Amino acid sequence: MINFTPWDQLLRQYVDSQGCVDYRTWKAEQPQALAEWLAQQSRLELAADADADEQLALWLNLYNAIAINQVLEHYPITSIRPKILGVPNWIAFLWFFLRPVFSLGGKRYSLYQIENTILRRNFNEPRIHFALVCASIGCPLLRNSAYLPHQVRTQLAEETTRFINNPKKVHYDAASGTLYCSKIFKWYRQDFLKVATSIPDYIHSYLQTDAPITSQSPIRYLDYSWNLNEKAATEDEKSKSYVSKTNFP
């Protein structure tokens, strides 16, 4: 049995209902707690015929925990794609996603590998894209509880509904008849088209609106923010001086 309780407790303590993470307090109070939980998971012996929902919950939690842990290791930062002299630092950005940082079953995994060679390849489940959070504002909101094997499909439905009904991620402009949506629908278009005839149809199946959205509705993609999904500091905290790093490596 996989023990998700330590990860669940950390999420409940340091992530609010809007998916914002109190990185500063987390790092000050329990800087090694998440790394220790990840180390414990790396010693798991996951059977090839393990329950599909257990595997799905495990890899979703691992992806999010690894992303958050990378931020905690290098905090304070303001973005996972920092800028130097106004130019995006692609080395740091690729480092965040492509560097193998987690071991399981004798293999090393990066965030990219977990997403693309495990979750997307092994599960016909496009709703994972509303659960995977790379610590950016443009991502889905980070759920402040762990994904659990016996609840994971229901939890994915909840996060998909929350994402699609968040006007910062999806909204319909009645005047122009245009559907505005996150670039997640562009980047992973083929995943959504496995279960729907079009992106507007997929969105409409979750969007709680009477808007006349059809498969022919024009789409425009919203800007994607790579800024950190950090909980806003209090005025007292803002008054304290601290240096913000601009690079990961």
One-letter amino acid of 81: R
- What tokens does 48 get? 């090839």
- Does 88 sit behind a cis peptide bond, omega within 30 degrees of 0 on the bond before it? no
What is residue 47's predicted lDDT score, i.e. its pLDDT? 76
Give Cα 134 distance to the centre of its chain. Answer: 4
Categorize the per-residue pLDDT at 87 as very low, low, confident or very high, splitting at 50, 70 and 90.
Answer: confident
- What tokens does 79 get? 């973005």
Contact (CB, 8 A) for 82 and 142: no
> Nearest to residue 138, comparing CAs of 223, 199, 232?
223
Residue 243 has pLDDT above 70, yes or no: no
Query: Rounded mean pLDDT of 204-218?
Result: 95
How confident is the prediction for the chain on average, in pLDDT?
92
| Residue in the structure block whose two tokens are 């929902």 | 53
Contact (CB, 8 A) for 36 and 10: no
- pLDDT tens digits, 132-174: 999 999 999 999 999 999 999 999 999 999 999 999 999 999 9
Bridge partners for 180 per DSSP: 171, 220
What is residue 85's predicted lDDT score, i.e. its pLDDT? 66
DSSP H or E run through 161: helix 152-164
pTM across the whole model: 0.93
Query: Rounded mean pLDDT of 91-114?
Result: 96
